[in-house]
Chain A
Amino acid sequence: MAVKTYPKEKLLKLYHDLLLTRQFEQRLSILYRQGKIVGGLYLSRGQEAIPVATCQHLRKDDFISPVHRDLGAFLVKGMDPGVLMAQILAKQTGPSKGKDSFLHAGSKELGIIPPTSILASTIPIAAGVAFGFKIRGEDRVAVSYFGEGGSNRGDFHEGLNFAGLHKPPLVLICENNKYAYSTPVEKEMAICCVAYRAESYGFEGLIVDGNDALAVYDTMEYAVNKAREGGGPTLIECMTYRISGHSEHDEAKYQPPEEKEIWKRRDPIENFRKYLTDRGQLDESEDQRIQTQIAQTLDKAVAFAEQSPYPPPEDALRHVFANEEPKYGDRHHI
């Protein structure tokens, strides 16, 4: 069988986006320790390949519905790093203008449905987006991300059933990182794999090594092409591991150290770098150039976010209804 080859620029873009995501989160970790992030911080350390590699195949006019560990998806889909940083720092210049926390940000222009804390709830919504594309005869795709934990909720099952019935251009990405907060996957479901669930709703479920960036990339390419060509939905279960706690305040003592050690050796970015250097696609100077460029981007992003103002307090009353004038129930009327 012929070995698949990839254009160098695609490989380097993927590498860049992976590194950008990790280093963005490293900056966030520092900002969190400095007390500059007012709420929680949920990182994707060790599972960056899933949002980053899958989004490589999406156009700006495709829609994604990411969840809280998909920071990379926002960046690849085109959100400015400074704007995303401002969102996380609760600043006026973030997409939600300080209204909601962390990655609860969206963009109509970039095709990003903002996540909410109700996990897997965005699956029926993304199914609606994909169904709308199908009705209009457009070759756009909707992609919904969720964890194995979310796949136990009714919304997952209702959404998949609808997708199976109508076969809209929907790609479902399950990030199976083995933990729902502190609950291990063995206590979440009686089967080993979320992908099995897709078949019972009448479409294909695939399992891929979520820490192998190219494997995720290839599988997504297949699913997106299929969706665009009218082949209907695919669920891709990406097997990965949450290398640290649920959030930065969670020490995750419930995760066995030996388990963590195994997965740390399976770091998706280190392994991809090795793949590239082994094949002569990346040398040290090129790597250095990419690293420097990312550091500069992030310096700029942090500066932009830090210098951005907080929203004016009375903005708490804005954007409830189309009519901006608070007419009823605002505490100032008494």
Chain B
Amino acid sequence: MPEITMVEAVRQAMKEEMERDETVVVLGEDVGEYGGAFKATEGLFQQFGEYRVIDTPISESVIVGVALGMAIIGFRPVAEIQFADFITCGFDMIVNQTATLRYRTAGDMHAPMVIRAPSAAGVHGGLYHSQSPEAWFAHTPGIKVVVPSTAYDAKGLLKAAIRDEDPVVFFEPKYLYRRAKDEVPEQEFVVPLGKAKLLQEGGDVTVVTYGSMAPLCRNAVKTLEEEEDLSIELIDLRTIMPLDKDLIYESAKKTNRVVLVYEDHKTLGIGAEIAALLADELFEYLDAPIARVASPDTHIPYSPPLEEFYLPKKEDVIAAVHRVIEY
């Protein structure tokens, strides 16, 4: 199996889906001849032409709105928001127009479309090229939210998202675009939405994570196992909404200790919801308070020492695991 990067996986997913289904179109800023700011759409314009790969003005409201209009009449648009931070400018189109369409038409109309956006920090992007806005959308009924952490998952999940009948917001951690590299089969496959992945089994503590924090957690777990003889169960959520409660619960029942790791701001992030669910439904299984490792509630700074301070580190995960074990 060839080893490819996450950005190449994203590109392959779009290419294959466009070849498979002529209603799939790609639109966004600089996605055409240039191939996208991160080259995720490279070659698609040359292969499919200007009516399948549509360059748009700097108009996020138009990118999402036009995609929605096309979805209503039978297209399957894949809209690219150049950086997840800019998604705010298309926020109304996603939250008030797209997410509600099925509901307010009682199922008569729906929006099978994907909104892709490179998200998260770690590349010195500063305040406007670093945010992780998944919680905003996970909080909105009617939208599915996906954040892959591997090239394999990125390809399989994006293909599933394009085929899905609901609108999917697909955040690609840009830190991993070229760092996440793995073997991806050449034959057809999809990774179903709504299913978390058990990265490794263990008995002492459950670590639940997703996106950019998944490789960091793998690393932390490796250290814990090698140096301390601990057995850690590691779960990558992959889909934030709908959340795979079953796998999280199953694991928490087994290990009785849970650490939640996410790059987004700590307060009211995805981890807050999972902690609340566990407290609600699995309280009697827990032997320790649930620990959260996340970023502080500040803006995401530019200068290397500031950004490094801001982001969760391997040591934070290790400390959190110690905390729940020693409780």
Q: What residues of chain A have their CB less than 8 Å away from a CB belonging to chain B? A: 63, 95-97, 99-100, 104-108, 113-114, 116, 118, 121-133, 135, 142, 154-155, 158-159, 161-162, 165, 318-322, 327-329, 334
Task: Work out how many contacts link A and B, with CB atoms closer than 8 A.
Answer: 146
A328 with B243: in contact, given A128-B69, A132-B73 (CB under 8 Å)?
Answer: yes
Please judge, given known A-B contacts A132-B73, A320-B141, whether A125 and B102 are in contact too, CB under 8 Å: no
What residues on B are CB-neighbors of A321 within 8 Å? 102, 142, 144, 166, 242
On whether the beta carbons of A161 and B62 are closer than 8 Å, the reply is: yes
Contacts of B144 in A (CB 8 A): 321
Check B242 against A127 for contact (C-beta < 8 Å): no
**Is there an interface contact between B142 and A320, defined as CB atoms closer than 8 Å?**
yes
In addition to A124-B61, A125-B65, A128-B65, 11 A-B residue pairs with Cβ atoms within 8 Å of each other are A106-B108, A116-B100, A118-B96, A121-B92, A125-B68, A128-B69, A132-B73, A133-B73, A158-B57, A158-B62, A162-B57
Q: Which residue of B lies closest to A123 (CB)?
A: B65
Asked whether B162 is an interface residue with its Cβ less than 8 Å from the other chain, the reply is no
Is residue B1 within 8 Å, beta carbon to beta carbon, of the partner chain?
A: no
Chain A residue nearest to B104 (CB atoms) is A100
Q: Contacts A124-B93, A135-B51, A161-B59 given: A106-B103 contact, CB under 8 Å? A: no
Partner of A159, one of B62, B101, B106, B108: B62
With contacts A118-B96, A328-B243 taken as known, whether A320 is within 8 angstroms of B102 at the C-beta atoms is yes
Q: Beyond A113-B72, A118-B92, A118-B96, is A128–B106 a contact (Cβ under 8 Å)?
A: no
Using Cβ atoms and an 8 Å threshold, which residues of chain B touch A107? 105, 108
Residue B245, interface by CB 8 Å: yes
Contacts of B102 in A (CB 8 A): 319-322
List chain B residues, Cβ under 8 A from A63: 72-73
Residues of A within 8 Å of B109, CB to CB, are: 106, 108, 113-114
Q: Give CA–CA (A162, B66) in the complex, Å.
A: 9
For B144, give the chain A residue with the smallest CB separation: A321
- Return the contact of B69 from the options A104, A105, A132, A327 (Cβ within 8 A): A132
Q: Quick check: B110 and A322 within 8 Å, CB to CB?
A: yes
Q: Are B105 and A96 in contact (CB under 8 A)?
A: yes
Complex contact A121–B104 (CB within 8 A): no
Q: Bound complex: CA of A123 vs CA of B67, how far in Å?
A: 12
Task: Show 14 A/B contacts (Cβ-Cβ < 8 Å), sorted by A.
Answer: A100-B104, A108-B105, A113-B69, A113-B72, A116-B96, A116-B97, A124-B68, A125-B72, A128-B68, A129-B72, A131-B70, A133-B73, A319-B107, A321-B242
Q: Which of B104, B142, B242 is in CB contact (< 8 Å) with A114?
A: B104
Q: Is B165 an interface residue (CB 8 A)?
A: yes
Is B59 within 8 A of A126, CB to CB? Answer: no
Residue in B closest to A135 when the chains form the complex, CB atoms = B51
**Residues of B contacting A97 in the complex (Cβ-Cβ under 8 angstroms):** 106
Interface positions of B from 62 to 105, Cβ below 8 Å from A: 62, 64-75, 92-93, 96-97, 100-105
CA distance A100 to B67 in the complex (A): 23
CB within 8 Å of A: which residues of B?
A: 25, 51, 56-57, 59, 61-62, 64-75, 92-93, 96-97, 100-110, 141-142, 144, 164-166, 241-243, 245, 280-281
What residues of chain B lie closer than 8 Å to A105, measured between beta carbons?
A: 105
Task: Verify B280–A106 contact, CB threshold 8 A.
Answer: no
Measured between beta carbons, the chain A residues less than 8 angstroms from B92 are 118, 121, 155
Q: Quote the shortest CB–CB distance from A253 to chain B (angstroms).
A: 31
Complex CA gap A158/B166 in Å reads 25
Residues of B within 8 A of A322 (CB): 102, 110, 164-166
Query: Given the interface contacts A319-B102, A328-B243, does A121 sit within 8 Å of B65 by beta carbon?
Result: yes
- A6: min CB distance to chain B, Å: 32
Which A residue sits closest to B25, measured CB to CB? A135
Closest 8 CB pairs of A and B: A128-B69, A124-B65, A128-B66, A97-B106, A322-B165, A129-B69, A158-B59, A125-B69
**B322 CB to nearest A CB, Å:** 32
Q: Is the CB of A108 within 8 A of B103?
A: no
Q: Which of A123, A135, A320 contacts B103 (CB 8 A)?
A: A320
**What is the bound-complex CA distance between A128 and B141, given in angstroms?**
23
B residues in contact with A108, CB < 8 Å: 72, 105, 108-109
CA distance A126 to B65 in the complex (A): 8
Q: Which residue of the partner chain, among B65, B71, B74, B242, contacts A155 with CB atoms under 8 Å?
A: B65
Name the residue on B nearest A97 (C-beta).
Answer: B106
Could you tell me the distance between the alpha carbons of A125 and B111 in the complex, rounded to whole angstroms? Answer: 11
Given known contacts A95-B106, A162-B59, A121 and B97 CB-to-CB distance under 8 angstroms: yes
Nearest CB on B from A245, distance (A):
25
* B70, B96, B281 pick with most chain A CB within 10 angstroms: B70
A64 to chain B, nearest CB (A): 12
By beta carbon, the residue of chain B nearest A130 is B69
Q: A116-B100, A320-B103 are in contact. Are A165 and B108 (CB under 8 A)?
A: no
- Kindly list chain B residues whose C-beta atoms are within 8 Å of the C-beta of A155: 61, 65, 92-93
CA distance A113 to B109 in the complex (A): 9
- A121–B98 Cα gap in the complex (Å)? 11
Which residues of the other chain, B, contact A131 by a CB distance below 8 angstroms?
A: 66, 69-70
Q: CA separation between A144 and B319, bound complex, in Å?
A: 57
Residues in chain B near residue A125, CB distance under 8 A: 65-66, 68-69, 72, 93, 97
Nearest opposing residue in chain A for B59, CB measure? A158
